[in-house]
Amino acid sequence: MSWLDELDVGRGELDTACGGAELPPAAESVAYLRASRKPAVAQVLRAADREARTVVQPRCGVGGHAPMLGLLRTLRGARPGVLSVTIDAYTRLGRFGTARRVLDAEPVALNGYPLVAHGWRRGRELNEAVRVPLEIRHGSPDARVLFAVAISSGISSFEGGGIAYNLPYSKDVPLARSLRAWQRVDAACGRLAEDGVIVDRELFGTLTAVLVPPSISLAVTLLEAVAAAREGVRCLSIAYPQGGDAHQDVAALRSIRVLARRHLPASVEVYPVLHEFMGVFPKDLGTADALVRYGGLVARLGGAVKVINKTNQEAAGVPDGPANAHGIRTAARGVEDAAACVDLDEARVREEMYWIQREVTELVDPVLQGDSLFDDIAAAFRAGTLDIPFSASRHARSAVLPAREPGGAIRYLDPGALPFSPGTRRFHAGRLRGHRDARNLLEGITADINYFLTEEGRASTTSLRATGATGVRTP
């Protein structure tokens, strides 16, 4: 059985999705990847981890092929460690014919690169246009066809998972369906690993991107990681979204390796990744730059091997190439600043790590102790014992209500049906007591979502003091 067979998609279905253009034989794609002169993403991450470096990766994707080639070449000069091919919404949802029609009529109307419509030969052109390796970023509950075209294109990293690429993006895709689809992708990665091709599987911890408590993000990615490892995945990047409080974010990043050692086989490589702040971005360019730089700093302090950067154009929409290149350089400057500018309160970091890891354990242990991982995950979301805030999916209760304490850390104002112990509930209630009484609920949550808007200076280097970091020295 080949890696293509593992996807459990008929050859005819694949050819139809690809507009009649046949994919190369599975063995030919393996040979292409193995013969590549550029490093695979797993090799880049392994080298960065060994050298205690944090590589920077932008988000980038446009509809047309020539503009996408131009964008990748433009960003090459900013020296990213990995480059992205962000996929359009039609392709993410499996509407390959619509993506093809829009591509033919008005490619600028697409919000990403429709790789399936362009085909694997153009995918290889992208891959060969730059020295650094590429990753596919998308948001598909069922990514099997896209994965087949990506691997045929020689792309060595693929983001997503059955929970995090379903509940934040789709209204009514049952979890059982997305989990089984992603199981086939992971099984294909396992088969590729047996053939000597290590595909980096990045897990998207950002979820709904707004006020996501760290333990929810890490619980979801941990369950996806366990599922992937069981199928033979050998390289996992576990991503966490920057919340805004330096100590809490650093603690979450440092907890990734601890949780991985506890729940994953030692044979699986695990790399912590930080998504720079995904919430509402400041409009002021200087403040936005400070927030981008702050993200790089937090990534390095937390031991992230990779940081996905933002830009100073986030408040205006999709950033252009020069802004994205500037964002890469700005995030990299933050990474460099980490050792020179900040001494964290390590006691606070340890306290946050204790509570994050305790909460993750309380969330995932009941699921991992069951007999059927996927059935138990789906049942937990139905019962609300696993949950994510602000989800549009009818397959998540979204009964959890997060809020910020005065220093910016994200706590559980209402944990819904999450199976937290009385001690964990008391901890969160205590941290929010008094602060939440001063405002009504809607005003408070809105202010928490607009955290970096309502106090523009918060993102500046000086504001690190406001978020609790001590020993900050102005660079």
Q: What is the CA angle 361-306-187, rounded to 5?
A: 65
Q: Is residue 49 part of a domain?
A: yes
Q: Sign of dihedral through CA atoms 198, 55, 145, 113?
A: negative
pLDDT tens across 29-68, in order? 999 999 999 999 999 999 999 999 999 999 999 999 999 9
Q: What per-residue confidence (pLDDT) applies to 455?
A: 55
- Angle CA 474–464–426, to nearest 5: 155
pLDDT-derived band at 458, boundaries 50, 70, 90: low
Q: Is 65 a member of any domain?
A: yes
Q: Is pLDDT at 365 greater than 50 in this prediction?
A: yes
pLDDT at 25 over 90: yes
* In the predicted structure, residue 473 carries a pLDDT above the cut 80: no
Report yes or no on 140 lying in a domain.
yes
Sequence length of the chain is 475
Predicted local confidence at residue 47, as pLDDT: 98
Look at the block and give the residue holding tokens 């603690």.
251
Whether residue 375 lies inside any domain: the answer is no
Q: How many domains does the chain have?
A: 1
The CA–CA distances, whole Å, from 315 to 261, 281, 284, 327 equal 38, 5, 9, 13
Quick one: which of 343, 336, 291 has its CA closest to 473? 343
Query: pLDDT of 409-456, one tens digit each?
Result: 999 999 999 999 999 999 999 999 876 665 688 888 888 998 998 654
- Pair 76, 325: CB distance under 8 Å: no
pLDDT in the model for residue 337: 84
Please report whether residue 163 resides in a domain: yes
pLDDT confidence of residue 468: 41
Distances (CA, A) of 456 to 183, 282, 289, 406: 43, 7, 12, 16
The radius of gyration of the chain from alpha carbons, rounded to an integer in Å, stands at 21
Q: At what angle do helices 422-432 and 346-368 cross, to 10 degrees?
A: 140
The pTM for the full model equals: 0.94
Q: What is the pLDDT of residues 113-133, one digit of tens each?
A: 999 999 999 999 999 999 999
SS3 240: strand
What CATH code is carried by the domain that includes residue 51? 3.20.20.240
The answer to whether residue 241 is domain-embedded is yes
- The predicted-structure confidence for 260-297, as pLDDT tens digits, reads as follows 999 999 999 999 999 999 999 999 999 999 999 999 99
pLDDT, tens only, 179-231? 999 999 999 999 999 999 999 999 999 999 989 999 999 999 999 999 999 99
Q: What is the pLDDT of residue 11?
A: 85
Structural domain boundaries, residue 7:
3-338
The whole-number pLDDT of residue 163 equals 98
Q: Is the dihedral of CA 461, 465, 469, 474 positive or negative?
A: positive
Per-residue confidence band for 342, with pLDDT thresholds at 50, 70 and 90: confident
Which percentage of the chain shows pLDDT scores above 70? Answer: 94
Written as one letter, the residue type at 447 is: A
Q: Decide if 28 is inside a domain.
A: yes
On the question of pLDDT at 151 being above 60, the answer is yes
State the distance between the two ends of the chain, measured CA to CA, in whole angstroms.
56
Coil, strand or helix at 343: strand
One-letter amino acid for residue 443 of the chain: E
Among 210, 207, 274, 217, which Cα is nearest to 447's? 210
Which residue numbers are catalytic? 92, 159
Tokens 């992205």 belong to 84
Residue 298 lies in a domain: yes
